[in-house]
Chain A
Amino acid sequence: MKRLELKETNNTPNVLFDTEKNIFVIDGKSFPEDSKEFYRPIIDYFDVLKNEKLQELVLSINLFYLSSSSIISVKQVLLKLVELNDKGVKVKVVWSHDDDDDDIKKTGEDYQKITKLPFEFKVN
């Protein structure tokens, strides 16, 4: 079982990853002072998952604000999912956004273009 939980703060999102319950969620707002440091355990988590026998992984992302450095860091998280996908894990990203938030929707579409992962867009 691999689990990672980071509680939401004023400028960082709530993160809950649990292979046993098959839950992978990032939600909240993201503008940490040091994005690299904040996202490092998240990137490392998916790196370690490469060695697990995993058939399917659905990552739900519901971020209503991302700073520009967070945008780069989330891309790096998604690139780890690409590696898992290439290893045969069935990966999907569920990207949620507010109905009237075109910018966040577009950010999801940018990621879809770059990673070519299957994305499901959901309106909150």
Chain B
Amino acid sequence: MDLNKVGSVEESIFTAKVNSIKAAYTGDDKKILVSHVGELDQDKVNTISSLVETQMENLGVSKSAVKKIFNIVIETLQNICLHGEKDNNGYQMTYFIIGKNQNEFTIFSGNIITNIGAEKLNIRLNSVKSLNDVELKKQYMEVLSNGELSAKGGAGLGFLTIALKSGNNMDFEFQVLNKEYSLFTLQSKVLG
């Protein structure tokens, strides 16, 4: 599978997704603050996260909102680094975009996942999304009390953290690309 082959079905679906997000942020009071399309590694995580911090501070966003956004950014990006699938050439098809609409910040991300992985993640995310604030905090404490890091380094707290920081304003979608892979997209909102 060559994900970055221009004109392939996979690449067209991916590009259409990125373009539709960007298109939604044209007009008054709307702006794309950060946009990264392509591969991700820890160096890029560092660069993107410090760019986010600077941008938010320049906009005069409250310290607590900056922290919430920063939290979501790190969890989202590190999730992709740990779990995002690569194609046969080692290419990782991902996007990461932050859009601002008045005082609402939306963090969008997309990455490739196996169809089997998508099924599992769908169940997990639906269960997180069904929890209210008290239940989220309870599950967070359970994982924190009993949790250990997986072989891949995952904590099991990433999506719970995103849900908690966004006030469970989190949406996701899985779009099948071919018989092996799907595009996993996630968006979460924070008010600045």
Residues of A that sit less than 8 Å from B by CB: 10-11, 31, 33-36, 65, 67-69, 71-73, 75-76, 98, 100-103, 110, 113-114
- With CB as the reference atom, state the residue of chain A lying closest to B68: A103
Q: Let me know if B144 and A114 touch, CB within 8 A.
A: yes
| Size class of the contact patch on chain B | 20 to 34
Q: Let me know if A69 and B64 touch, CB within 8 A.
A: no
- With CB as the reference atom, state the residue of chain B lying closest to A113: B141
In angstroms, Cα B67 to Cα A98, docked, is: 12
Q: How far is the CB of B159 from chain A (nearest CB, A)?
A: 9
| Residue of B64, B141, B149 most packed against chain A (CB within 10 A) | B149
- With CB as the reference atom, state the residue of chain A lying closest to B143: A72
Q: Let me know if B153 and A68 touch, CB within 8 A.
A: no
Q: Let me know if B75 and A67 touch, CB within 8 A.
A: yes
Q: Let me know if B144 and A65 touch, CB within 8 A.
A: no
Q: Given A10-B50, A67-B75, A68-B75, decide whether A101 and B67 contact each other with a Cβ distance below 8 A.
A: yes
Is B109 engaged at the interface, CB distance under 8 Å to the other chain?
no
Q: Let me know if B147 and A72 touch, CB within 8 A.
A: yes
Is B191 engaged at the interface, CB distance under 8 Å to the other chain?
no
Is B161 engaged at the interface, CB distance under 8 Å to the other chain?
yes
Q: Which residues from B are CB-within-8-Å of A65?
A: 67, 70-71, 74
Is B38 engaged at the interface, CB distance under 8 Å to the other chain?
no
In angstroms, Cα B38 to Cα A65, docked, is: 26
In angstroms, Cα B157 to Cα A65, docked, is: 15
Residues of B that sit less than 8 Å from A by CB: 42, 45-46, 49-50, 63-64, 67, 70-71, 74-75, 78, 81, 141, 144-145, 147-149, 153-155, 157-158, 160-161
Q: Which residues from A are CB-within-8-Å of B42?
A: 11, 33
Q: Which residues from A are CB-within-8-Å of B64?
A: 100-103
Q: Which residues from A are CB-within-8-Å of B74?
A: 31, 65, 67
Other-chain residue from B70, B141, B157 in contact with A72 (beta carbon distance below 8 A): B157
Q: Which residues from A are CB-within-8-Å of B45?
A: 11, 31, 33
Q: Let me know if A68 and B161 touch, CB within 8 A.
A: yes
Q: Given A72-B144, A100-B64, decide whether A36 and B149 contact each other with a Cβ distance below 8 A.
A: yes
Q: Which residues from A are CB-within-8-Å of B71?
A: 65, 103
- With CB as the reference atom, state the residue of chain B lying closest to A32: B42
Q: Given A65-B70, A72-B155, A100-B64, decide whether A31 and B78 contact each other with a Cβ distance below 8 A.
A: yes
In angstroms, Cα B64 to Cα A65, docked, is: 12
In angstroms, Cα B148 to Cα A67, docked, is: 14
Q: Let me know if B141 and A69 touch, CB within 8 A.
A: no
In angstroms, Cα B75 to Cα A6, docked, is: 24
| Residue of B67, B145, B148 most packed against chain A (CB within 10 A) | B67
Q: Which residues from A are CB-within-8-Å of B50?
A: 10
Q: How far is the CB of A10 from chain B (nearest CB, A)?
A: 5
Q: Given A11-B42, A68-B75, A100-B64, decide whether A75 and B149 contact each other with a Cβ distance below 8 A.
A: no
Q: Let me know if A34 and B153 touch, CB within 8 A.
A: yes
Q: Let me know if A73 and B144 touch, CB within 8 A.
A: no
